[in-house]
Structure 1
Amino acid sequence: MEAIRKSAREKMKGYCRVCPVCNGKACAGEVPGMGGLGTGSAFHANLEALDSVRFNMKLVHGVKAPTTDTELLGLSLAMPLLAAPIGGVSFNMGGGDVSEGAYIDAIVAGCKEKGLIGCTGDGVPEVIHASGNDAIKKAGGHGIPFIKPWEEKEFFDKLEKAEATGATVFGVDIDAAGLVTLAKMGRPVTPMTVSDLEKVMKATSMKFILKGVMTVHDALCAKEAGAEAIVVSNHGGRVLDSTPGTAEVLPEIAEAVGAEMTVLVDGGIRSGGDILKMLALGAHGVMIGRPFAIAAVGGLQQGVETYIETLRTQLIQAMVLTGTDDVNRVESGILR
């Protein structure tokens, strides 16, 4: 991983410092780029909320080889983890000689090789979603395309293209509404009503994830519209300053929707231990964004696979040291 991170640091110079801890301190306000909006407080809050959660270490038990396999939205996964949808190599990451296509191919193919799912992004320029769709097609539909909440014609055109990839699940990152990078390019996106979400559901047979839920209100609206899953997310702190960390709001949201929806979460997750914390707080699975981008830019598919192996080793270690035998049965009592 150190060699991969060193390569990424050289290629992403001026866009990402590839800090020892990716916490948004050095890149505050750098949007476009990899930072958080404004003061960066929403990005910081994600890390701080997770850091404030502590494990109860437990070692008098018989857990030696915990189970990390799970199933989410009909997809079999080697662990409850997805690579979050991040695109825009040229203006967000620098990327050196790494093209948008090579980057997203590394994410999708690397995840598939390791039994996970890579999500693909959307945005401006067109190459972002086109490369993502191509990557999923090459992987035999093994990926989750995300679409931004565009105006109606563009949205449904992109939904049709997403369906043509062979994917069985798609997402809308409603948390992109108001994204500075898109507004600067003259392509603003907007919030959606329950009626809008219902219309989306009726237009496709794919399962639907709504990403960008930070309140019980929005979670219940997604449930009312019929979405199969939500992602508790503040878009990595890139759209609204001064929001809470996702780990702060996750428990109340998970409790509100109960077992009737799949609850995913992202924001500040940096290790296998962080994955376990989020599961204990009520999530069924997690998404990780920036560290996957760094791994892909720094080492392409090998970088992605190496990062996944690192996370799985850390997750198993955390499970053993908390007496957790199965990711599908994580008790809140492992947290202090």
Structure 2
Amino acid sequence: MDINRIRVAAKERFAGVCRVCPVCNGVVCAGEVPGMGGLGTGTAFRHNIQALAECRLNLRTVHDVKKTDLSYRIFGVELAMPVICAAIGGIALNMNGAMTEEEYTQAVVSGCRQAGSIAMTGDGPNPLVFDAGMAAIGKEAGWGIPIMKPRETEKIVELAEQAAAAGCPAFGIDIDAAALVNMTNAGQPVGPKTIQELEYIKNRTTIPFIVKGIMTPDDAESCWQAGVDAIVVSNHGGRALDHTPGTAEVLPYIAEAVKGKMTVLVDGGIRSGADVLKMLALGADAVLLGRPLAIAAVGGGREGVEFVLNKYKAELSAAMTLTGTAQVSDVPVEILW
């Protein structure tokens, strides 16, 4: 298996819903929601890519870093590197039926485990979306993190209890899906959460609680006040609100506000191991990959996901060597030019 074969197969199976462009930057697919593009003008998607591109790495080779340590521990789970698969649900709608929900979740959950990573699984108006993720996680003995829509608080608690019973190390909500019309139209209302509602969820659940979709320091502080264990700096891949800044732009301000108090994760436009290192230097503890692993799953199944993650691992190790960075747990901002 190689990356070109994965990409060719994925392009064929996507049948136009994703062109598998040489550079996945949101230009061609702007406005294609449902689909794989960014909302409206696609500006938020493109800002993710641009913000990372504007971060440059200092090449340093006169140092004593002979070996790099990529290992990372989160929620009691040991990972081979600080890279997690982001939750993507609604495969039939967003991926033109390129795979079934069950096939996709099994590919990412199992592929991640084989590569020493862990996958988040999704949620949607059709219970099949959440259930498929839980089934895939069950087959891997709890190795996965289910992410729910920002539903009514009691429903979130109910689903979180399912996750805990399945042995999941954590659960979360993608609060940036607060305006999803398809959820409300299906009789499953979603919306923003107050500090009190987040605190309610935290106090009635037994495994770590993640809130994904944080783009400002004050929202991050609110999550910390509510006792949330981790946040994901994310604009939902540019699919929630048009014209937001890129995640790499806001990450340093959010990290300054809450890093050390809670785990800070980030997604958005990460297309290489070097991009992973940039995000770590900007203040993230670990990163999430969305579209790159979706392409890997569609083009190569479980083996494709494992292959792409190992490719990121090799790129991250090389970037660390060439910037004099020994450990992913200690990436100084000074590696950025």
Please confirm whether the aligned pair reaches a TM-score higher than 0.5, indicating the same fold: yes
Cα distance per residue 1:223-273 (max 9 Å; x no partner)? 000011110000001010010000000001001113111100000001000
Q: Does the C-alpha gap of structure 1 residues 183 and 298 become closer, same or farther in structure 2, counting only changes over 3 Å?
A: farther
In 1, Cα distance between the equivalents of 2:16 and 2:259?
43
Tell me, in whole angstroms, the C-alpha distance in 1 between the residues paired with 2:74 and 2:153. 29
SS in 2 for 1:259: coil
Using the TM superposition, name which of 2-11 and 174-183 deviates more.
174-183
| Match status 1:127 vs 2:144 | no
Query: CA–CA distance in 2 between the matches of 1:20 and 1:180?
Result: 32
1:73 offset after TM fit, Å? 2.4
Contact 2:157 2:205 in 1 (8 A): no
Which of 16, 24, 37 is the equivalent residue of 1:22? 24
Aligned to 2:163: 162
The answer as to 2:221 corresponding to 1:223 is: no
Q: Contact 1:36 / 1:42 at 8 angstroms: preserved in 2?
A: yes
- Correspondence list, 1:123-202, <5 A: 123-182=124-183, 185=186, 187-202=188-203
Give the match's secondary structure for 1:260.
coil
- Contact in 2 for aligned 1:180/1:239 (Cα 8 Å): no
> Which residue in 1 is equivalent to 2:87?
85
The one-character-per-residue Cα deviations of 1:171-205 (angstroms, maximum 9, x if unpaired) are 11101111355456564410000010011011111
Say if 1:29 and 1:35, in contact at 8 Å, map to a contact too. Answer: yes
TM-score w.r.t. the length of structure 2 is: 0.96
Q: Distance in 2 between matches of 1:186 and 1:295?
A: 33
Q: Secondary structure at the match of 2:296?
A: helix
Supply the distance in 2 between the matched residues of 1:89 and 1:258 (Cα, whole angstroms). 34
Q: Contact 1:209 / 1:230 at 8 angstroms: preserved in 2?
A: yes
Cα distance in 1 for partners of 2:249, 2:204 equals 34
**Cα-Cα RMSD:** 1.3
Residue 152 to residue 332, structure 1, CA distance change in 2 (3 Å): closer
Please state whether the residue corresponding to 1:319 is helix, strand or coil: helix
Partner residue, 1:35: 37
Q: Shift in Å at residue 14 of structure 1?
A: 2.6
5+ long unaligned stretches in structure 2? none
| Cα contact 2:32–2:39 (8 A) shared by 1 | yes
User: 2:314 maps to what in 1?
Assistant: 313
Percentage of matched positions with identical amino acids: 53
Q: Kindly provide the CA deviation profile for residues 23-44 of structure 1, in whole angstroms up to 9, marking residues without a partner as x.
A: 1101101111111110000000
Structure 2 CA distance for partners of 1:272 and 1:180, relative to 1, 3 Å: farther
Q: Which amino acid aligns with 2:298?
A: V
* Secondary structure at the counterpart of residue 5 of structure 1: helix
How much has 1:51 moved relative to structure 2?
0.3
* 1:58-69 to 2 correspondences below 5 Å: 58-69=60-71
Write the distance in 1 (CA, Å) between the matches of 2:170 and 2:70: 22
Report the Cα offset of residue 301 of structure 1: 0.3
Is the 2:33–2:39 contact (alpha carbons within 8 Å) kept by the matching residues of 1? yes
Query: Any idea what SS the aligned residue of 2:160 has?
Result: helix
Q: Any conservation in 2 of the 1:31–1:181 contact (CA below 8 Å)?
A: no
Q: Return the alpha-carbon distance in structure 2 between the equivalents of residues 269 and 180 of structure 1.
A: 28
For 1:258 and 1:315, locate their aligned partners in 2 and report how far apart those are by CA, in whole Å: 22
Secondary structure, counterpart of 2:65 in structure 1: coil
After superposition, residues 194-273 of structure 1 pair within 5 angstroms as: 194-273=195-274
Do the aligned residues in 1 keep the contact of 2:142 with 2:169 (CA within 8 Å)? yes
Taking structure 1 as reference, are residues 244 and 213 closer, same or farther at Cα in structure 2, changes over 3 Å only?
Answer: same
Q: Which shows bigger deviation, 224-233 or 68-77?
A: 68-77
* Alpha-carbon separation, structure 2, partners of 1:140 and 1:152: 27
SS in structure 1 of the partner of residue 257 of structure 2: helix
**Aligned pair 1:51/2:56, yes or no?**
no
Bigger shift: residues 147-156 or 68-77: 147-156
TM-score, length basis structure 1: 0.97
Measured in 2, the distance between the counterparts of 1:313 and 1:185 equals 43
Check 1:186–1:28 CA distance in 2 against 1; reply closer, same or farther (3 A cut): farther
What is the Cα deviation at residue 295 of structure 1? 0.5
Quick check: 2:259–2:283 contact (8 Å CA) kept in 1?
no
Per-residue deviation at 1:126?
Answer: 1.5
The one-letter code of the counterpart of 1:224 is: Q
